[in-house]
Structure 1
Amino acid sequence: MDKQKVIQYIDRNKLFSTEDKILVALSGGADSVALLRLLLSLGYICEAAHCNFHLRGAESDRDELFVRHLCREQQVPLHTVHFDTEREAKERHISIEMAARELRYNWFEEVRKECNAAVIAVAHHQDDSVETFLLNLIRGTGINGLCGIQPGNGKIVRPLLCLDRKEIVDYLHGIGQDYVTDSTNLQDEYTRNKIRLNLLPMMQEINPSVKESILKTAEHLEDAAAIYNKGIEETKKRILTQEGILIRALQQETASETVLFEILYPLGFNAAQVKDIYRALNGQPGKIFTGTGWRVVKDRELLLIEPLQEVVKPDLEIKEYDYTPCFVIPRDKSTACFDADKLRHPLSLRLWRQGDTFVPFGMKGRKKVSDYLTDRKFSLLRKEQQWVLCCGDDIIWLVGERTDNRFRVDEQTKKVLVVITK
């Protein structure tokens, strides 16, 4: 291995300096072992972090023992943690791969802060970047997913991206350093392994230098993506509001479906969902699309975007007062006043329903709540969040909006019930 190439790569990408402490993510596999040994040989101060995910039975414990022995031999402080990864994935309804990734990186950051390390070094290399390119191509992540793995992302750095797997293994053999092999890397259960074990060998039969070709393509796409992303950001300024996307403005943009994809994909909407949303732009309002943690609602003029969350029930403060000439009825929408003697049933709070009616303050006839909200030009999302205060079966207040005229304070009132939203 050409160590100078690694030094130049670290310096060129400004990953860290010689004075920095490095926290090395150490699995025990060839890549991470080579990373640790290489950084130590270059004079860097290192600590190591190892996660036991308990996914491979005795093999997981074997890896931990190997890592402990290696760090003791190299006099490197080691941090370890145990995770019940399967339970975490089940409770959160995510894949085991995703659960392991989130657990790992969250814990790495905690350890980095504790040991005062500048960065977390992970052992991704060129082959990983090629596999990521193909994986994202298959998933349809757009141009940004085809730029390969980046040298750094926040506190995460990848000093070995200038090397391929063969160079790494040859380096370990050259210094007489052993490592452990994850048996699941020899199986094709996961998509990445299928790419590594099946797809890439087939591609190499067609073009023996296909890995180099993919890396060069990813490099070109990185430059193209910089220009592309600048255009996307400028477009967002023209079409985005606090509530969502202006439909007409979006449709006037060049490559409007691609713009929509770049806005919604990071929110957990896949390419097929984005296409369905795009097709619905000229349809009737009310259609709802749900992604991972977000949803999009087709409204009249907007594509409304909001995080998936429960509608928060308002906290009400209720007090009763004698109605005297000195009493001043508040005029703000967060406060409602009623003739206490007209309220003959218990009060209850709920979200409005289709078919609900009330008599708006100052009017005599009934009005549908749905019509009132439409007249107020409320969005579909805002309508869903409208609470009503009821006395028995009667709505007495559209909370934060308007009271019912039948329960108003008048010249006959003796006691006033005041309701305030906190």
Structure 2
Amino acid sequence: MKTAPLSLIKALPHDATSLLVAVSGGADSVALLRSLHHLAGAENLHAVHCNFHLRGSESDRDLKFVEDLCHKLQVPLTVIHFNVEEYMKEHGVSLEMACRELRYAEFHKLKKELGCSRIVLGHHLDDNIETMLLNLFRGTGLRGLAAMKSDDGTLWRPLLSLSRKNILDYLHALGQPFVIDSSNLESDVRRNFIRNELLPLLATRWPGIHKSLALSQRNFRADLDILDSIEVPDSYLSAETLRQSPSPSFLIRTLLQKSGIAGGSVIVREIERAIRAGSYPRRWSLSGHEIILDRDGLSIADRPEAELSSNPDSHPFTFEQLTPTASLIATLKQHPDNNVLYTSLHPSQILFRHPQKGDRISPLGMKGSSLLSDIMKDAGLTIMQRRAIWLAVDPDGNVIWVQGLKRSRRHLLSPSSEKGYRIFIP
């Protein structure tokens, strides 16, 4: 039998202490665990196995295999069980996406609980190529073509430079068994079709295709790293920035990705069309976010509009009591400050909330009342700013203050006021 290398992995990250290792029982993860066991020692490893209960007795077989292997290597193991069908129904995602979201969420949670420095995954060169082709056929940009990062500080993929054959040769030389997922042999799944049929067919015409595609991916990654060094805000792009950019689609995609919105190629095209047509305002809901396009730019809200509701216990304001002297009242008349609310109304009687449709205010110094929507529009507020602005409402439902913009004629300080209050954000 061929002498096995002690490890497929040459070195650990310099800041790696304890490692959380994902182990399915397949060849890739078993080779990963054996390599890390030699390099780092069992005391620095913690294995995690996901049981999605999708393959009946085969899933149970995989679990038993991983338990036995970890027991033999004296590596502690955490097993996580999932109800994938329930998750798919709740979130409206595909089977593949449901499994991915579930396992990664638990990996990150467990990493934090255990204090591990890295989550270690068994992705290899062939996985990278298959992912690139899948993304290419779906329609993608540079990010979808670039190679996965081998180490981003949280996820470490030490086998990315190795082929599936390298891994199988290593296990064979060790005499180390592994389990085979029978579903991987069925080509009705797109990834399996690429792996089992398309790539072997392409290799008959281009024998070095794996190396060529891997080289292209590394080049794409290098280009992407340069683009990623260009600063793009986390939640807002001004209209001026979008107009001046040679590639607004890149900025839009990057903004979506920074907000955790994946698979947004369709929405990117819709946003671009709306910008070209000057179609404002527009809103899209995607992946639990609200994307808002108005004349001032593109914004991404962290929470749906329903969450910006009236909650008297969640406002950011504090108050201090004061004496409404004649000099103070005169100063406020000469130098009004709409960022602070001065009122004779006790703060416990005030409801702080965000704007609602049809809200009106009776502005100080004016007759009649005005729609808040008109006031905010005239002030040039973006849709996100309009949604987030705070209002103060009296017990009768009258808006007495629009944060930073307007004060109403109601509940003003006067010399006859027994007490006064200054309400502000500290």
| TM-score tier after normalising by the smaller chain length | 0.7 to 0.9
Question: 1:252, CA displacement in angstroms?
Answer: 2.0
- Aligned residue type for 1:86: E
- Selected match of 1:368 from 365, 368, 371: 371
- Is the 8 Å Cα contact of residues 132 and 149 (structure 1) preserved in structure 2? no
Distance 1:115 1:293 in 2: 29
CA pair 36-304 structure 1, distance change in 2 beyond 3 A: closer
Residues 124, 163 of structure 2: 8 Å contact kept: yes
Task: Please give the per-residue CA displacement for 1:76-118, whole angstroms capped at 9, x wherever unaligned.
Answer: 3333233334334444554443443344344445555666655
CA contact (8 A) 1:294 1:308 kept: yes
Two-structure CA RMSD over aligned residues (Å): 3.9
Partner of 1:210: 209
In structure 1, stretches of 5+ residues that fail to align are 341-345
Query: What displacement does 1:311 show?
Result: 1.0
CA shift for structure 1 position 396: 4.0
1:252 paired to 2:249: no
Q: Separation in 2 of the partners of 1:204 and 1:35? A: 27
Partner of 1:343: none
C-alpha separation between the residues in 2 aligned to 1:157 and 1:349?
Answer: 47
Q: Does 1:289 align with 2:284?
A: yes
1:362-383, CA deviations, whole angstroms, 9 ceiling, x for partnerless residues?
2223323222222322222222
Give 1:28 shift.
Answer: 1.0
Q: Distance in 2 between matches of 1:95 and 1:120?
A: 24
1:406 to partner: Cα distance: 5.5
Change (3 A) 1:419 1:87: farther
Q: Does 1:389 align with 2:393?
A: yes
Query: 1:214-250 deviations in whole A, cap 9, x for unaligned?
Result: 11211222233333434xx15x4xxx5x862222233
The reply on whether 1:273 has 2:267 as its aligned counterpart is: yes
TM-score (norm 1): 0.78
Give the partner amino acid of 1:337.
Answer: T
Please tell me the residue identity of whatever aligns with 2:275.
L
| Residue 345 of structure 2 corresponds to residue 335 of structure 1 | no
Contact persistence 1:124–1:158 (CA under 8 A): yes
Deviation at 1:60, TM superposition (A): 1.7
Aligned residues: 403
Return 5+ residue gaps in structure 2 as ranges.
Answer: none
**How many Å separate the matches in 2 of 1:370 and 1:110?**
43
- Report the 3-state secondary structure (helix = DSSP H, G, I; strand = E; otherwise coil) of the residue aligned with 2:284: strand
- What one-letter code is carried by the residue in structure 2 that aligns with 1:404? S
Match of 2:194 in 1: 195
Q: Which amino acid aligns with 1:15?
A: P
TM-score (norm 2): 0.77
Q: 1:28 is matched with which residue: 25, 38, 48?
A: 25
State percent identity of aligned pairs.
Answer: 33
Q: Is the 2:111–2:119 contact (alpha carbons within 8 Å) kept by the matching residues of 1?
A: yes
Q: 2:41 aligns with which of 42, 45, 48?
A: 45
Report 1:212-227 matches (<5 A): 212-227=211-226
Letter of the 1:122 partner, please give it: L
Q: Retained in 2: the 8 A contact 1:257–1:278?
A: yes
Give per-residue Cα distances to partners, 1:155-178, cap 9 Å, x unaligned: 432232232222322333343332
Range moving further from structure 2, 183-192 or 22-31: 183-192
Q: 8 Å contact 1:21–1:45 — kept in the other structure?
A: no
2:410, 2:27 → 1: CA distance?
78
Aligned residue for 2:301, secondary structure, equals strand
Cα distance between partner residues in 2 of 1:25 and 1:308:
32
